[in-house]
Chain A
Amino acid sequence: MRRMSVFPQHGTALGNLGLTANEIRQETENNTSELVSDLVNLSARARFQAIQSLHMPFNEKKTIRNRVNSVKLSKTILAADCRQQVSQSFRRFRASLASARQHLIIWQGTLKEIGGRFGTSVLSYFLFLKWLLKFNLFSLIINFCFITIPQIVHAPNISSITGFRGLELLTGVGYFNQTVLFYGGYNGEVIVSKPAYNMQLAYFFTVAAYLVLCGVSLIYSMSRSFQKNFVLETGPVSGGAWRLLCSWDFSVVNAKAIQYNKNNLAIQLKESLSERLQEKNKMSLSDRIKHLSLHLLAWLLSLGLALGSGAGIYFLGTDPELAFSFNHDPSDLGAEASTLLLPVVVSLINLIVPLLYSLISKIESYSNPRAKIYISIVRNVILKMSILGILCFYWLNFFPDNISCWESFVGQSVYRLLIIDFIFCLLGIFFGEFLRNVIGAMCIQSLGVPEFDIARNVLDLIYAQTLAWIGIYFSPLLPVMQVLKLFIIFYMKKISLSMNCQPPKHTGRATQIQTVFIALLFFPSFVGALSMVAFTVWSLKPSDQCGPFQGLDTPFHIIFSWTDSLPENHWVGWIFENILRSELFYYLISLIVLVITYFLWQITQGRKQLIKTLREGIVNEGNDKAFLLNKLQNLQKERREMASYRPQDFDQTPHFNPNWMNTLPLDM
């Protein structure tokens, strides 16, 4: 569509060309009638959106719309008018739906307040938290409806060996042991009711469907975020100056925060300037070797710490004193409390080692502050994932052979880890932020008010969510705890933020870091949890005395027995036997995907070439315009000189703006 974007108010640019007032009016009238005829030819919905997106003042938009409507009216017949009414009412319905949805969004006012005081990067942490809350809420609802309610209604078998003591909330054993909180509380009977409800299939499919939906949603968000934020970077190397300027946050309204942002922006601009200058100075060889060896040393130290923590946890876990002692004597409170030792150690490691990492990174020197953030994120992720990996390995290798009802035990371990992590988080808010604020403000002024460290907080959230995903199979009602936890953390963090912290200093590239976080949530976190659950379902023998899959070889065998029980030539059975179980299908799919990827890659290459050519074309056009401008100026000069000889022949030429060329559209 023709762009009306060019002429500023009332065609002032045209005034610079030396046209009279009548000609200006004629030109704008031509533009308007072209715009109206363009709009008339669009469909109703596209026209509505196009009028909304015109950048004109309100009254001019109204005039355009009225003109379009009158032209349309003269063209259409009555039947089309009815269609227009229907589409209009449909549009109003959609608008009212959107505004109703706004009411349902929780925390709307709170989020706006946080964004107003601290900016969009801190807001992104809270939005991430809200997104995780949605995942857990969804999981809770489907688990509750499809698995827990049938179990409770049809086969209540709560045989509480011990009464309820307070320690259960922390350790998850005892009273909770046989309830529906854990895997062991479910049995795999086929509930005899009008449509027979097979609990085994229900359990399997609910967990599988939830994980698949999570995966799809994560992939979708990740690709959309990637597309928006890592746009093709062609052309001159962006020093980031425009990016810094355009990231000025208009939604911040607090005067002090704005002053703070201005100072930050000034510092960042100066930093980026000095970065550009530094790039021009090449470092000497000995300097480079020194930097490289420091980097290597830092990496070795970090990986060594991660490995050491992993080994420590492994040996602590396999310590025969602590490991299975509880399993034998349910009324021994001391032994039960000692099961809390492992989660406490894990949380302590998660707290202390990142601090060590930030100390280590001080010895390195980075050319790019963003590289520093990414490298520290990578190290923390390696630490957390290796801890989780060791724990999963330990659980899946030792428990099935040594403990009866081992799935419940795994569920209880996950439960303990989550609870202790929650407690440590609250303690961290208290000590890390509140006390540090008090110390920084009153006692040691130079320490300063603590900054809100987005990366560390988001990684904590990702860690907790990984645990929750691992625990879904072993403890279907675990999302309850996760939902409560996220709720409480939201409010605590918000209060702590307003009372104690100041916004982070490096605010640029908030959306790029967000893409990285979503990618981290998908790749090590979700994929790891999914592979662990898949391994359990595929190859481990379920326990014989409890749970819905008693007596089977692996839980996956439930699918085989189900397809065997289906009538002959049933389409589900056919799909399962011939498509999902045949290797040829997977080979074909992989081949097709590879071919499509190759084609798309070629198209991308072609487009890059096209962009380069177009850029060169624009530069040439600029040169042409400069040439024409010069020529016009010379002509005007000649005209004026001749006018000074014979003034009666020439009109008065108005003031000439040499930059008028720039106000014309660049039709690419």
Chain B
Amino acid sequence: MGGTSSKLPKDLLSEYQELTFLTKQEILMAHKIFSELQDRENGLYSSRVSMEKILTLPELKSNPFRKRICHVFSTSDMKDGSLSFEDFLDLLSAFSDSATLEIKSHYAFRIFDFDDDGTLDARDLEKLVNSLTGETDDTRLTGEEMRQLISNILEESDIDKDGTVNLSEFQHVISRSPDFVSSFKIVL
């Protein structure tokens, strides 16, 4: 994949269609956008685009979870959040219209797991609530409210009562929120 306007070969295209939830148009559009990001990368040609470049996309620019999203979908060995084209397609596929609830909830769990330990403990939940509420002082939750909120959340979803929310419990609580599937969407 080099050059300014390279076309995607047909067999690669059908492979991408087979292994992701994206349609042909979506894959071609993603390829176009990704090539533009690559071209503006100064320096040597590399197949990965750095996290800073990815975060200039309008769809991700103001998303509160943009850095976590890049880290979760990145397969780079250096753990720097850079995405190859396949990682980019994985991202779009998980956020697409036709992705199943299980895929979305799995990736949502990994995005919300700020310390990457496989469970959502009280610290992860606190970071989650803080990213979703404003940063200004009057919209931030006070310490007391945060404690109350986290204990409400755990009471609602912690079935085995161990103080953390694991993947199964998360998926169970997600299945009872019908808004989730329609909100967990990013379309180019």
Q: B57 CB to closest chain A CB, in angstroms? A: 9
A57 at interface, CB cutoff 8 A = yes
Q: Quick one: which of A250, A276, A619, A621 contacts B184, CB cutoff 8 A? A: A250
B142 nearest CB neighbor, chain A only: A270
On whether A510 and B103 interact (CB within 8 A), knowing A251-B186, A270-B141, A666-B166, the answer reads no
Q: B8 CB to closest chain A CB, in angstroms? A: 14
Q: B11 CB to closest chain A CB, in angstroms? A: 12
Contact partners of B185 in chain A: CB under 8 A: 250-251
Contact partners of A622 in chain B: CB under 8 A: 159-162
Q: How far is the CA of A52 from the CA of B182 in the complex (A)?
A: 20
A228-265 CB contacts (< 8 Å) to partner B:
228-229, 231, 233, 235-236, 238-239, 241-243, 245-251, 253-255, 258-259, 262-263, 265
Q: Are A263 and B129 in contact (CB under 8 A)?
A: no
A423 at interface, CB cutoff 8 A = no
Q: Are A263 and B139 in contact (CB under 8 A)?
A: yes
Q: Are A52 and B110 in contact (CB under 8 A)?
A: no
Q: Quick one: which of A48, A245, A508, A661 contacts B129, CB cutoff 8 A? A: A245
B34 at interface, CB cutoff 8 A = no
On whether A242 and B156 interact (CB within 8 A), knowing A52-B21, A263-B139, A666-B166, the answer reads yes
A61 at interface, CB cutoff 8 A = yes
A668 at interface, CB cutoff 8 A = yes
The interface size bin for chain A is 35 or more
Q: A469 CB to closest chain B CB, in angstroms? A: 29
A408 at interface, CB cutoff 8 A = no
Q: A233 CB to closest chain B CB, in angstroms? A: 7
On whether A57 and B116 interact (CB within 8 A), knowing A262-B134, A265-B133, A511-B178, the answer reads no
The main secondary structure of chain B at its interface with chain A is helix
A665 at interface, CB cutoff 8 A = yes
A255 nearest CB neighbor, chain B only: B62
Q: Are B61 and A255 in contact (CB under 8 A)?
A: yes
Q: How far is the CA of A231 from the CA of B21 in the complex (A)?
A: 26
Q: How far is the CA of A8 from the CA of B160 in the complex (A)?
A: 21
On whether A241 and B156 interact (CB within 8 A), knowing A58-B19, A262-B132, A262-B133, the answer reads yes
Q: How far is the CA of A249 from the CA of B177 in the complex (A)?
A: 13
Q: Are B134 and A266 in contact (CB under 8 A)?
A: yes
B20 at interface, CB cutoff 8 A = yes
On whether A5 and B118 interact (CB within 8 A), knowing A51-B19, A231-B175, A266-B134, the answer reads no
B63 at interface, CB cutoff 8 A = yes
B165-188 interface code vs A (CB 8 A; 1 in, 0 out): 011110001111111101111110
Q: Are A266 and B141 in contact (CB under 8 A)?
A: yes
A525 at interface, CB cutoff 8 A = no
Residue among A6, A13, A99, A242 with the highest chain B CB neighbour number at 10 A: A242
On whether A253 and B152 interact (CB within 8 A), knowing A59-B86, A245-B128, the answer reads no
A98 at interface, CB cutoff 8 A = yes
Q: Are A269 and B119 in contact (CB under 8 A)?
A: no
Q: Are A662 and B179 in contact (CB under 8 A)?
A: no
Q: How far is the CA of A53 from the CA of B129 in the complex (A)?
A: 29
Q: Quick one: which of B87, B95, B118, B129 contacts A58, CB cutoff 8 A? A: B87
Q: Quick one: which of B19, B140, B164 contacts A266, CB cutoff 8 A? A: B140
Q: Are A8 and B116 in contact (CB under 8 A)?
A: yes
Contact partners of A248 in chain B: CB under 8 A: 64, 132, 183
On whether A112 and B179 interact (CB within 8 A), knowing A659-B117, A666-B160, the answer reads no
Contact partners of A255 in chain B: CB under 8 A: 61-62
Q: How far is the CA of A486 from the CA of B30 in the complex (A)?
A: 34
Q: Are B152 and A276 in contact (CB under 8 A)?
A: yes
The list of the 9 closest CB pairs from A to B, nearest first, reads: A622-B160, A58-B86, A266-B133, A663-B118, A266-B139, A255-B62, A247-B179, A666-B168, A662-B119
Report which A residues bind B (CB closer than 8 A). 5-6, 8, 12-13, 48, 51-53, 55, 57-59, 61-62, 65, 92, 95-96, 98-99, 102, 112, 120, 228-229, 231, 233, 235-236, 238-239, 241-243, 245-251, 253-255, 258-259, 262-263, 265-267, 269-270, 273, 276-277, 508-512, 615, 618-619, 621-623, 625-626, 657, 659, 661-663, 665-666, 668
A-B pairs with beta carbons under 8 Å apart, 15 shown: A5-B167, A13-B118, A55-B102, A57-B86, A57-B87, A57-B90, A62-B15, A246-B108, A246-B173, A246-B180, A253-B58, A266-B134, A266-B141, A619-B161, A661-B162
Given contacts A12-B118, A241-B152, A262-B132, 4 further A-B contacts (CB under 8 A): A5-B106, A62-B15, A246-B180, A251-B185
Report which B residues bind A (CB closer than 8 A). 14-15, 17-21, 23-25, 58-59, 61-64, 73, 75, 86-87, 89-90, 94-95, 100, 102-103, 106-108, 110, 116-119, 121, 128-129, 132-134, 139-141, 145, 148-149, 152-153, 155-157, 159-162, 164, 166-169, 173-180, 182-187
